[in-house]
Each structure stands twice: as structure tokens, then as C-alpha cells.
């Protein structure tokens, strides 16, 4: 009976691997409810203006952003593994939609909206597929350096792309950041000062809500669970304030302020994206980038939030969760979505315990779009631009660069290369350049391994680098430790270095290679080693191996290397080989 | 005075770094002369038919091959660092010329010959430039697996490309090996049986000279220094034999046997390659491939010959030597050259002690082209095809694959991928695919590092894998050795694995990370480690490092990691940390 019980428990665990919501739904605790409702409401307050702003950034009508905030987060709450991830429109993906779809249609046209739908469908298919065939590990090829450089550069591109709304001027979509800057400067004289004033005021208010207000409230000893809702309502406040101002003073007419205009009321329409292979082919590069970048942004924040609560994120199931959420977006008038960084952090901080929080957010957005869209008619676009700018400029991260520069110059270099590649060549090429750079730098680093000639520490059994420690050495024996796996990229360097150090020590009769840092030896390195041992033998120098790791030894045995070298030339420890060679 | 003397000696050494021939010319020993003459003559006997055959393979008139065998080896003898490398036309480079130039002109036309000259010029410029800016290390990115797969596939492509001459049929140049096979099979019925018979007889004779004759002569106790000249004159013999046969029986007329025809007598003309940027741009991809592949073939044999005689090869000076040799070819009616594999081995075996051997070969070829070209009028092309086929089919190397398969599956996989990529996509793309595959497989291997939980060996100070050795463990301490550097590609795996093993041992209070296999920790891994330590602390598990290598420790100190962890959590050896944690 006991065995059966444990088996059925195993089956249940397995089912919840595929339907993660079973985990929280079947074990829902009533004490989780307050946090979920609280977080759901706060995120909704944040999301309403953000969803419209990001749709604007993507070149889409504002309601599309709201549509994308309803079904997708509900689907993710059912199929994703993070309890606190807030899925919906985000800045980075919106920018990618703008540059990708912008190649084939004019923003705000029906064709453009249709292409955005197809893009969501493609992203959904790609991510779901990647999750099903277990490609989640691909995200491992993104180093923190590349992510940091990429995020900072994309934040700049996004932020500056909003200047046109802030200044109330027309600026065409550009791929390169420098062209964008140039276009902004050229049109500075055309600035609509009323638009700029409203925008800058919004930015000021948002900055005040971001940090100083929170500190003030803390200082005044306001209850902490009130502080978050208050500070997070900054964007809703600027939306309401600027809308009232524009409609009250009729600024649309007298100052030519661009407004959002009519947003159709009613729940998201059921939409059928185009199943047109020509279009799919055109959109594929953008869809691949969004699938990858969106996943990367999402998994990074999901992991960080989960590790704080000792929860587990499954990369492949995350892909399935995000992919199906995008499929949801494609069939309900939305556009590509992913887990947003700041929104998810707020969700978690505000107390989200389960996916129920996201579902509550989605229901609130549904209410807004059913009944409250007329409120946003006079909402000026400059306010939405201000919201985006404040959101993304905080992502420009100089500290990480400084820290990496101190710790490790090659990481800092990958970061810089990625940063400038994104600014000069655009987001898609930029991230590829960044990934390749970080991989090549890694290979370069392994191509010149650190090698240390070692000596005995006092009378102990330990051997350390003669350059770093006060150690005993022996003229007829050289013991050298190679701090790298041996493979084709570094075999030449290894050979040349060994020959060099041997030539410097004339009395040498025995060479001991300490393999504690060698995690594998590939076929190229093995051949080099065999030739070297042969050459040394002809020069009257015998060769020994010490501290060979198990997996390496297994392979060496298999090809008869050990037989050729002689089992009496292999020692478990450096101490043992040195004793055998009369160095005690 | 003594100091000055040593200074002038240093200067001389430095000068000979740039003009390597000073080394052998200024110290020429009379006892080296016999070997040099002997080798020079034998290589000339081999080279005369080969040079014409490879020109045929490249789609060029036979004299171009002879021209390319005069000035280039003389220049290399002066500027190259190998004493035994025989520079001249080789099969692989000839094939690359055929596929590269064949895109822009018809073989055997004046334009084709002019393009081949320009190609030699470009290769000369590229290689010399690469040598001057020290790019010789690039060859390190070619693993033995890739070289082996590449060589075998190229040998098949080259060998089968000669079937048209053997069969006496017309077959157009193809990029893909399978198209070539198809074309051969389609034309099998058109076979000229006389041509085929002559070709097969030549192949039989050449095979007999290659091995059985040598063994026979050895058996008959012929003096070894006679055996090499005899066995190496096989190709000259088939050339003379088949030429006599064709001219004697008038086979050109009655059996439609294709012959070499008139070869203009006289020394190589002084030629001026086109300095036309449009042409250069067209030829650049081929020139890059030849520069790289030619260098690779050459340096491989140069190194192997030099190591047997304890001589040193300098990769960058080699590039300069080969580059200037190609410039020489460009200005004397030749085409791209490099150091040939089999010819250099013969040169070395026949006793070449210095570059003088190559100079003697070149002078003999000069004599041939001045006085003996009429002899080759009736030389049938099927004979030259036979010479090429015997030369290259020996390069198809299955043993290396078998050995790699036993030793290391990923090396064997790179070999296979390169082999099939060259056959299906052609030489240039194929080698790129091979290089990328070997690098990606290496990265993949480092992405799932081997980690071993270790225990104490008896009462010693040594700790080994609990799965491989009979060791003592302690329930409250887990010591785990990670056998790989920590960097962004494997941080996720590391984190997940550590959490898994910790969860399996419930009584654990201390986690010791043994860093003997960690050669560096990049910024991504550092962040992961910091988060992990934080998480472990919250679970009541303290974290220790042991056997951290000097360079890694330096970096960790720089960013304050060690201060944060606490100096009392770092130990020189596993033994010490285990003692401190009460495990003795």
C-alpha cells in the first residue's frame, strides 16, 4: 500500500511538471490570497499605462497593448513555472516588433497590426517548439556581460526613440542609434514646447515616485504594505493628470498636442493571424530574435525571484509557458509578449504568491478595456513617452561594467563590444556579435594556459608555484602544473612552453606533468603529448604524470597511452612521484 | 669586450630570425653537401611529372606547374624556417585554384592563366601580411580531427576529379562530390578503353614502386641510399613509358588519346599580374582559403620534420616564407604554391640538410624546361591523372578516425562532420563548418563539467572521487571538486548540480568547493557563486573554498569576494579545511 501511495505521488509530480498550475491550485492556501490580490491590483495599476506606452513604442494602437495583457498572462499563470513572473508587453520586445515589422508596413496601419499578430504566432510556435525539444539550455550561451551590454544599449535606443513624442516632432524609424541621435538634433528647433513641458513634468513626477517618495513615506512610518501601492501608482497619476490638463485646456487644438484618441471598448477580438509562408519567411529573423531575447529577459528575472523564495524554474517549461502565452496573444488581437523585468519584481515585492496574482491583473485590465477606455481619449502621447523613458533609462547599467573591468578585463570587453554593436548595428546583429565575441574571448583565454613550475612547501606533501611561494626545488626534476584542459587550440602553446622551460634548466632528467587542472585531453593534444614524450626520451629526459583525473585516465587507458608510457610513470599525487624520484 | 661580443652575437641571431638562410649558409658544413645534392635530385625526379599533373588538375597548361617549381622554392629556401620543406605545386591548392578560378574563366584560356597569376599574387600578399602581423597562431584553431577529415575528403574529391582523364571523357567542374560521382557514372559508357588501360597500368606500376619494390630491394640487401632514388622514380618511369607507347603506336590519332602537346621551351617568363580591384575582390574568398589551407598543410609537415631533427619552426616566419614564394610565382608565370606533404617527407628522408636541396631541385627543373620539354609532347593525360590519383588516395585516412572514435567521440564527430561537409558543400565551406563544429563541440563539453564528491583516502592527506575510490566521508561536510573552469556557459549547470547534491545529503552543514580544476572564474560565474553562497547561508550551510589557484585567487581578492566570504573560509588544501571542520 505504501509503495502504491508513493507511486501515485510520483505520477502527480510528473503531471505538474507539464501543468505547473496544478502545483499551486491544488495546494492553494487561504493565507496566500491577500498577497495575490494586493499584487494583482498593484501590477494592474502599473500595467495599464505601460501596456499602452509599449504598444505606442511598437508602432501599434494602444488597445493592442491592453489586449496583450489579458489572455497571455492567464495562460502563463497556468503553464509557466514562475509564481511571480508578470507576462505582457515589454519595452525590448516592443522595440524589436517596431524594427522588424517596420520593414514591411507603415506603423498604425491594418497591415502593420496584422503582421504583429503573425509575429506573435511565429514567436509562440518557436518558443513552444524550443521548449518541447529541450532547447532551454541555449540561454546559457549568454554571459552576464553580454546581457548587461545588450540591456544598456537597448535601453538607450528605446529611450531615445521616445524623444519624438516628448518633443512632438516626426522622426522616422532608424536601425542605428547614431542616425536616431542625428535626426533628433536636426529637429530640435521644431520642438513643441508644450509637449516637452508636459513630458518633462511627468518625468519629474515619476522620478519622485520612484525613490524619494518611498523614502519619505518610510521616514513618516507609513505601513510598508501601503508604500508599494502608493509609489507604484506614479504612472497612473501622470496619466490622469496630463489627460485632465489636455482635455481641460483643450491643448489638442490650441497647442497641437498629440493624443491617444479613441480606443475601441470591448473585450479583445478573436483574431486569426495570417498563415502565409511568404510573410512568415520575412518575419522569421525577427521572430527568432524575439523568441530568444524575450526568453532571456524572462528567465533572468524568473530565476532571480525564484531563488529568493527557494522555488525552482524549469527553463524548458518556461519556454512552453511563454510560447503558449504568445499563441494566446496571436489569437486575441495582441502582439509578442514576455515576462517583464520591473513589473515582475513589483509583483513579487507586492506579495504575489501564486499565478493567481497575474490572473487578477488580467481581469482588471479586462474591466478597464470594457468600461474605461473613453477616459484615455485625451491622454497625450508625450506622457506615455515619459513613462517609457523613466522605465528604460534605469536599465542603463554602468556599475556592472566598472565591476567587471576590475574583476576581469575580457568580460568587460565583451560587455563593451555588445553595447556598441547594438548601438551601431541594431539589436539583432548586436546580440549575435556579443555572443560570438564572448565565446571567442573565452577560447582565446584557454589558448594560452597558465603553467606553473612547482616546488615542495616546507616538508609537507604539497607543491605550489615557485614564483608565488617559498618552496624547495630539485635540479634534476622539473614538476610543472598546467592549469587548463589540453585541446587543439592550446597544444602548440603547451609544446612550445614545455620545450622552453626544459631548455632553461640544463640538469633536468625527469619531467613531471601535474594534471590536477587538466579536465580532458583531446585527440590533437594526445598526439602532441606522444610526440613530445618521444622527443624527450631521445634527449634523455623521462616523463611522468601525476594527479590525473579519473575521466582523463579512463580515456588514456582506452587508447593504450598508459601502456606505452609505462604504468610506473603514473602517480596518484605529486608527492609520490617526487619521492620516487628521490626528492623528499 | 666580452659584453660587446655577446651583443653582436645577439644581433646576428636576430637578423637570422628575419633571413633564416643566414643560419645555414654562414655555417654550411661540407658534410651536408652530399645529402643536399641527393635530395635535390630525387625531389626533382618526383616533381617533374607532379608539377605538370597538378597544373592539369588546376586547369592550367603543364608548363605553369614547372614555372611554379623554380623561383618559389628558391625564395622559400632563403626566407622559410624549415630546412626540408619542398615548396611548389600541390594537389589541394591546385584543386582550390580550379574551383576558385573556374567560376570566372574557362580552363586553359589566357584569362584563366591570368587569373591564376592574380590569385598567386593575392595569396602572396595575404600570407606575407599575416606573417608580419603575427597571425600564425590562427592555425591553432584547426584540430587534428578537422585536418584529418578535411584531408581525406579533399583527397577523394581530387582523386575522383581525375577520372575524366583516366576514362578519356569530358566532365564539367562541379563543387559537390556527389554531382561529380553522378557525372562520372553517366559517362562510364563513353569510356576510352585505351586511355583507361594506360592509366590503370600506370597506377599498377606506381603502386608497385610505392611499397612492394622498396621491400623487395631491402630484402635483396640493396644499399638504403639507393632504394629511395629507385622507388621515387616510379612516376618518371610511367611518364617515359607511356609517352613512348603513345608516340610509337601513334595512339593519339588511332585511339584518340589526349596528350599534353607542345610545352614552350625556355625559362619562366616575367609576368605582371593584374592589379585590378574588381578581380581581386572576386578572387578574395579563394585567396583566403588557399592562404589558410596552404599554410596549414605546409606547417604541419614542416613541424613534423623539424621535431625529428630538433629544429625549430617559426609559424609567422613560415607565413612570410610561403607568402614571398607565392609572390615569386606571381611574377614568373606560376600559380599558388605551398609546402607539399609527401615531397617534403621524401626530401627529408633523402638527406636534405639545408635549403640548398630545394635550390638544386629548382635548378634541375630549370634545365628540364630549357632543354627537355619536347620529350613530353606525347605524354598522355591519363598518365598524369594516374600519378595524381596514386598520390592523393594514400591521404584518405581511416585509421585516425578509428583511433579517435576509441579515444574521444567528440573528436571523431568533428572529423566526420568536416569530412561530409567538404564532400557536400565544397572545400571552402567544408573547412569552415569543420572548424565551427570542433569549437562548438568543445564549448558543449565544457558546458557540463565533471563534478566529483570526494572523500579521504585512508588516513592520508589525499581526497578522491567517492565513486572511484574506497574513501572516508563525513555526513556533515560535503567536499565537491569541479573539474572545469567556471564561466557563463556552465554556471547554470554548476548551480543546479550543487543544489541537487546538497538536497540529497540532509545532514550537511558545510559545503567545500575544491578548486584544483578551476583555472578561472568569469564574472557570470562569480555572480552565480555569490548568489549561491547567500542562498546556502540562509539554509544554514556554510561555504568553503580549497585549493584555489594563484591567478584565480588574485582576481577574487580584487573584487572583494574573499573579504565577503571571510578569509577563514579559504584553505590551501582540502586536507586543511577538512581538519578544520573536524573530519580527520
Cell numbers given for B270: 616575367
- Subunit contact B524:A143, Cβ cutoff 8 A: yes
- Cell numbers for A418, please give them: 555588445
Q: What's the whole-number mean pLDDT along residues A548-569?
A: 88
CB-CB under 8 Å, A403 with B550: no
* Chain length of chain B: 584
SS (H, E, C) B164-225: HHHHCCCCCCCCCHHHHHHHHHHCHHHCCHHHHHHHHHHHHHHHHHHCHHHHHHHHCCCCHH
Q: Smallest CA–CA separation between A479 and chain B, in Å?
A: 16
DSSP states along A216-264: HHHHTT--HHHHHHHHHTHHHHHHHHHHHHHHHHTHHHHS---B-----
DSSP-derived pairing of the beta strands B338-339 and B87-88: antiparallel
Residues B143, A408: C-beta atoms closer than 8 Å:
no
What span, in angstroms and rounded, lies between the C-alpha atoms of A122 and B297?
46
Beta strands A87-88 and A338-339 are: antiparallel
Q: Which residue numbers in chain B have pLDDT < 50? A: 1-12
pLDDT digits (tens, 9 = 90+) for A32-54: 888 899 889 889 988 998 999 99
Q: Which residue of A has its CA nearest to B304?
A: A531
User: What are residue A479's DSSP bridge partners?
Assistant: A454, A512
Cβ contacts of residue B269 below 8 Å, gap of 6+?
Answer: B67, B332, B333
Instruction: Determine contact, residues A339/A199, Cβ cutoff 8 Å.
Output: no
- For an interface test with A, the pick among B407, B480, B503, B518 (most A C-beta atoms closer than 10 Å) comes out as B407
Quote helix, strand, coil % in chain B, to nearest 5: 65, 5, 25
CA–chain centroid gap for B527, Å, is 40
Residue A32's nearest CA partner among A353, A322, A277, A246 is A353
A145 and B462 within 8 Å at the Cβ level: the answer is no
Reading phi first (left if > 0) and then psi (alpha if -120 to 50, else beta), residue B573 is in beta
Cβ of A572 under 8 Å from any chain B Cβ? yes
Contact across the interface for B523 and A310, Cβ inside 8 Å: no
Closest CA in chain A for residue B573: A462
- Is A405 an 8 Å CB contact of chain B? no
Which of A144, A452, A465 has the CB atom closest to B527's CB atom? A144
Helix (H) / strand (E) element for B362: namely: helix B356-371
- Contact by Cβ (8 Å): A285, A428: yes
A358-416, pLDDT tens digit by residue?
A: 999 999 999 999 999 888 899 999 999 998 898 888 888 899 899 889 888 889 999 99
SS3 for A542?
A: strand
Q: What is the ipTM of this complex?
A: 0.77
Q: How many CB pairs under 8 A join A and B?
A: 159
Asked if A237 contacts A205 with a C-beta cutoff of 8 angstroms, the reply is: yes
Phi/psi at A240 (nearest 5 deg)?
-65, -45
- Nearest of B88, B154, B151 to residue B120 by alpha carbon: B88
Cβ count near A569 (within 10 Å): 18
Q: Tell me the chain A residues in contact with residue B520 when contact means C-beta distances shorter than 8 Å.
A: 408, 445
- Contact, A167 vs A191, CB < 8 A? yes
Q: Cβ B489–A310 below 8 Å, yes or no?
A: no
Q: Is residue A102 within 8 Å of A311, Cβ to Cβ?
A: no
pLDDT band at A313; cut points 50, 70, 90: confident
B119 neighbors B89 (Cβ within 8 angstroms): no
Is the predicted pLDDT of residue A12 greater than 70, yes or no? no
E-assigned strand segments in B314-373: 338-339
pTM over the 0.80 mark: no
Nearest to A443 among B439, B465, B527 (CB): B439
Enumerate the residues of chain B whose CB falls inside 8 A of the CB of residue A523: 143-145, 403-404, 407-408, 411
B235-269 residue pLDDT tens? 889 999 999 999 999 888 888 889 988 888 888 88
In angstroms, how far is CA B231 from the centroid of its own chain? 26
- Asked if A310 lies within 8 A of B439 by C-beta distance, the reply is no
The nearest CA of chain B is from the CA of A419 a distance in Å of 17
User: Does the pLDDT of residue A6 top 60, yes or no?
Assistant: no
Q: What are the tens digits of pLDDT across the range A204-224?
A: 999 998 888 888 888 888 887
Reported as a pLDDT band with limits 50, 70 and 90, residue A94 is very high
Lowest mean pLDDT among A71-80, A331-340, B374-383: B374-383
pLDDT (0 to 100) of residue B8: 44
Alpha carbon of A143: minimum distance to chain B alpha carbons (Å): 5
Is residue A44 packed enough to be buried (19+ CB in 10 Å), middle (13-18) or exposed (0-12)?
buried
Residue B511: its pLDDT value, please? 94
Average pLDDT, chain A: 88
Please name the residues in contact with A211: beta carbons below 8 A apart, sequence gap of 6 or more.
none
A447–chain B Cβ distance below 8 A for any pair: yes
Task: Read off the pLDDT of each residue in A237-242 and give the average, rounded to a whole number.
Answer: 92
Does residue B272 or residue A325 have the better pLDDT?
A325
The 3-state DSSP class for residue B355 equals coil
pLDDT interval class at A14 (50, 70, 90): low
Instruction: Kindly report, residue by residue over A478-531, the tens digit of the pLDDT.
Output: 999 998 899 989 988 898 888 888 888 878 899 999 998 898 899 889 988 998
What pLDDT score was predicted for residue A461?
Answer: 83
Using only C-alpha atoms, what is the Rg of chain A?
A: 30
**Which residues of chain A have a CB within 8 Å of the CB of B461?**
461
Interchain contact, B524 vs A411, CB within 8 Å? yes
Cβ pair B483:A551 closer than 8 A: yes
User: Is B500 an interface residue toward A (CB < 8 Å)?
Assistant: no
pLDDT at B61: 94
Beta carbons within 10 angstroms of residue B254's beta carbon:
9
Whether residues B519 and A410 touch (CB distance < 8 A) is answered with no
By C-alpha distance, the chain A residue nearest B521 is A408
Q: What integer pLDDT is reported at residue A499 of this predicted model?
A: 84
Amino acid at each position: 500500500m505504501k509503495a502504491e501511495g508513493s507511486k501515485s505521488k510520483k505520477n502527480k509530480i510528473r503531471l505538474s511538471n507539464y501543468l505547473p498550475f496544478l502545483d499551486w491550485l491544488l495546494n492553494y492556501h487561504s493565507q496566500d490570497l491577500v498577497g495575490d490580490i494586493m499584487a494583482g491590483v498593484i501590477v494592474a495599476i502599473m500595467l495599464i499605462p505601460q501596456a499602452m506606452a509599449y504598444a505606442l513604442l511598437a508602432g501599434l494602437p494602444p488597445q493592442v497593448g491592453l489586449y496583450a495583457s489579458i489572455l497571455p498572462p492567464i495562460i502563463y499563470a497556468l503553464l509557466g513555472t514562475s509564481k511571480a513572473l508578470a507576462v505582457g508587453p515589454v519595452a525590448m520586445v516592443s522595440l524589436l516588433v517596431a524594427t522588424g515589422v517596420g520593414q514591411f508596413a507603415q506603423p498604425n496601419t491594418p497591415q502593420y497590426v496584422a503582421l504583429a499578430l503573425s509575429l506573435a504566432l511565429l514567436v509562440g510556435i518557436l518558443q513552444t517548439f524550443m521548449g518541447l525539444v529541450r532547447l532551454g539550455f541555449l540561454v546559457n550561451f549568454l554571459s552576464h556581460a553580454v546581457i548587461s551590454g545588450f540591456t544598456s544599449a537597448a535601453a538607450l535606443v528605446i529611450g531615445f526613440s521616445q524623444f519624438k513624442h516628448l518633443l512632438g516632432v516626426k522622426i522616422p524609424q532608424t536601425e542605428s542609434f547614431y542616425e536616431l541621435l542625428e535626426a533628433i538634433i536636426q529637429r530640435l528647433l521644431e520642438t513643441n514646447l508644450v509637449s516637452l513641458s508636459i513630458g518633462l513634468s511627468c518625468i519629474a513626477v515619476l522620478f519622485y515616485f520612484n525613490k524619494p517618495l518611498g523614502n519619505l513615506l518610510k521616514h513618516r512610518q507609513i505601513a510598508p504594505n501601503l508604500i508599494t501601492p502608493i509609489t507604484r501608482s506614479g504612472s497612473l497619476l501622470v496619466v490622469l493628470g496630463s489627460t485632465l490638463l489636455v482635455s481641460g485646456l483643450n491643448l489638442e487644438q490650441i497647442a497641437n498636442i498629440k493624443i491617444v484618441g479613441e480606443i475601441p471598448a470591448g473585450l479583445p477580438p478573436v483574431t486569426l493571424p495570417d498563415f502565409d509562408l511568404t510573410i512568415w519567411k520575412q518575419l522569421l529573423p525577427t521572430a527568432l530574435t524575439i523568441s530568444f531575447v524575450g526568453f532571456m529577459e524572462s528567465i533572468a528575472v524568473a530565476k532571480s525571484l525564484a531563488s529568493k523564495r527557494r522555488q525552482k524554474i524549469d527553463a524548458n517549461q518556461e519556454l512552453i509557458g511563454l510560447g503558449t502565452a504568445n499563441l494566446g496573444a496571436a489569437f486575441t488581437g495582441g502582439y509578442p509578449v514576455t515576462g517583464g523585468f520591473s513589473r515582475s519584481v513589483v509583483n513579487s515585492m507586492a506579495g504575489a504568491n501564486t499565478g493567481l496574482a497575474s490572473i487578477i491583473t488580467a481581469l482588471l485590465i479586462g474591466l478597464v478595456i470594457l468600461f474605461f477606455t473613453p477616459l484615455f481619449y485625451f491622454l497625450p502621447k508625450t506622457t506615455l513617452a515619459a513613462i517609457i523613458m523613466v522605465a528604460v533609462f534605469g536599465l542603463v547599467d554602468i556599475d556592472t561594467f566598472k565591476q567587471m573591468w576590475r574583476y576581469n578585463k575580457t568580460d568587460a570587453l565583451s560587455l563593451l563590444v555588445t553595447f556598441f554593436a547594438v548601438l551601431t548595428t541594431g539589436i539583432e546583429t548586436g546580440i549575435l556579435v556579443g555572443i560570438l565575441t564572448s565565446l571567442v574571448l573565452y577560447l582565446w583565454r584557454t589558448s594560452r594556459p597558465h603553467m606553473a613550475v612547482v616546488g615542495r612547501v616546507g616538508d609537507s606533501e604539497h607543491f605550489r608555484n615557485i614564483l608565488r611561494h617559498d618552496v624547495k626545488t630539485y635540479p634534476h626534476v622539473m614538476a610543472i602544473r598546467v592549469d587548463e584542459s589540453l585541446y587543439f587550440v592550446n597544444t602548440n602553446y603547451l609544446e612550445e612552453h614545455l620545450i622552453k622551460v626544459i631548455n632553461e634548466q640544463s640538469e633536468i632528467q625527469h619531467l613531471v606533468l601535474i594534471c590536477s587542472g587538466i579536465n580532458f585531453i583531446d585527440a590533437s593534444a594526445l598526439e602532441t603529448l606522444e610526440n613530445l614524450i618521444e622527443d624527450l626520451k631521445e634527449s634523455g629526459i623521462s616523463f611522468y604524470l601525476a594527479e590525473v583525473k579519473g575521466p582523463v585516465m579512463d580515456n588514456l587507458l582506452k587508447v593504450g597511452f598508459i601502456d606505452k608510457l609505462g604504468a610506473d610513470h603514473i602517480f596518484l599525487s605529486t608527492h609520490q612521484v617526487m619521492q620516487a624520484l628521490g626528492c623528499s
